[in-house]
Amino acid sequence: MNLQAEAFSSGADRAPHKKNALKQRDGAIFRFREIGRRLRVRVYVSMLALALLALDFAGVKVAFAADAQIDVKIGFVRGPHSRDTISILDIPADDDGIAGARLAAEDNNTTGKFLGQSFEIEDVKLKDGDDPLKAFQSLADKGVGLILVDLPANQLLAVADAARNKNKDILLFNTSAYDDSLREENCRADVIHVAPTYSMLADGLTQYLVWKRWPRWFMIKGSHPEDELFAEALRHSAKKFGAKIVEERTYQDTGGGRRSDSGSVQTQRLIPTATQGAPSYDVLIAADESDVFANYLPYRTYDPRPVAGSAGLKPTSWDPSHEQWGAYQLQSRFFKLASRGMNARDNQAWVAVRMIGEAANRTGSNDPKTLRDYMTGPDFSIAAFKGQKQTLRHWNQQLRQPILLGDGRMIVSVSPQEGFLHQVSELDTLGFDQPETKCKLQ
């Protein structure tokens, strides 16, 4: 009886101690959790401060929700594209070019929403016979000062001169004209050139052929003015890098359709005859920017030789098969948007809009003059999934860029090639360099 009472008393005495121990344990856990929470808050605040500091060092003006929204309106004047192609696969889509601009606007808005910026594309699609100056004027009257231009060289020049005569700053982006004259004797200060030049394309191809030790060329050029422009770029490039054109012939365009029911039968007979009798050569070079004959050459030449230039191994700014350096994700996003592959015209428009987005992010402005000053300055570069950051040549406002060499199925190589050196940038081995330029920006 006494033992039971003692035991009961002992258990009762221990109960308060157990409760106190539990309270102490819970208090310790609470204090530990509170310390952890405070540490996490401090870490998050420190990380945010470091991020903002990094943005500040990078030149980005961070805009908070309380700041004024900056709306960046981008016009796009695009002319009709020829549907006369040898292959039905090359017939341009209705959204050719503009699809790339729209994707870039989406990309810009992804970042812009955190910086208080929005980007919008206003598309002006011209029909045959429409006046591009009226289209430009309509955009300018709406206050659009950033305009992508997908027009032939003569029309681009007319728009550039009209823009220069306006009383407000307007900046144009050339997304399709390859003419070297636009960057040389006919250069304009209000035009940024995103499309490469014929000389850049020719040099990219020539470097690879010289690297392969295929220096002897048999060249066939078309009879249209743009064919001669590419042919002249190839002649200059051959001389520049030590190749030799052993013979040159002209393919006369006599009109008619590019495709017919008997086309394969006729070309199988005609092309061997047209390519017969040339001196010994390594590569057949085609200069056919009008798409009249070049794609008939591969596998049909009299001598079994590779074809390059406007068919076969083609130099380009972009190709739907390009997937290196993260390009696969860009190709995938574009296919999701447009239900087709991204071509050079799409990509050049994409790069132009991304350049605007990058400059707007960095300067916190939508003013054309402010953006131009930043783009042509030493701090600007654009990542375009081609292995190198791309910058503008300050002397003619041409975008430096690698040139892809593709065969229609995959990328064979990328220029500049190994061993072609330059004191400033290896990208300046492609096209006319500063000592050669005739450009005087005005």
Give the pLDDT confidence of 90-99 residue by residue, as tens digits: 999 999 999 9
Q: Is the predicted pLDDT of residue 26 greater than 50, yes or no?
A: yes
pLDDT at 442: 81
> Is residue 426 one of the residues assigned to a domain?
no
In terms of domains, do 213 and 187 share one?
no
Question: Residues 163, 227: one domain?
Answer: no
Which among 206, 148, 201, 203 is positioned nearest to 179, based on CA atoms? 201
Q: What's the pLDDT at 39?
A: 56
The residue range of the domain holding 189 is: 70-196+320-401
The pLDDT of residue 50 is 57
- Over residues 272-306, the pLDDT tens digits come to 999 999 999 999 999 999 999 999 999 999 999 99
The HSE-up count of residue 122 (CA atoms within 13 Å, CB side) is 16
The larger pLDDT score, comparing residue 363 to residue 55, is at: 363
Q: What is the pLDDT of residues 387-396, one digit of tens each?
A: 999 999 999 9
Looking at residue 75, which CATH number applies to its domain? Answer: 3.40.50.2300
* Lowest-pLDDT range of 44-58, 334-348, 352-366, 382-396: 44-58
366 and 229 housed in the same domain? no
pLDDT digits (tens, 9 = 90+) for 254-278: 876 555 544 566 788 889 999 999 9
pLDDT of res. 266: 72
* pLDDT for res 8: 39
pLDDT digits (tens, 9 = 90+) for 145-198: 999 999 999 999 999 999 988 867 999 999 999 999 999 999 999 999 999 999
- Indicate whether 79 pLDDT > 80: yes
326 and 190 fall within a common domain: yes
Residue 20 is predicted with a pLDDT of: 60
Alpha carbon distance 366, 146 (integer Å): 9
Residue 78 lies in a domain: yes
132-140 long-range contacts (CB < 8 A, ≥24 apart) are 132/77, 132/79, 132/158, 132/159, 133/158, 133/159, 133/162, 135/77, 136/77, 136/162, 136/163, 137/162, 139/75, 139/77, 140/166, 140/168, 140/170
Q: Which residues contact 260 (CB under 8 A, 6 or more apart)?
A: 266
Of 368, 358, 398, 372, whose CA–CA distance to 170 is shortest?
368
Q: Do residues 239 and 190 share a domain?
A: no
Answer yes or no: do 120 and 229 share one domain: no
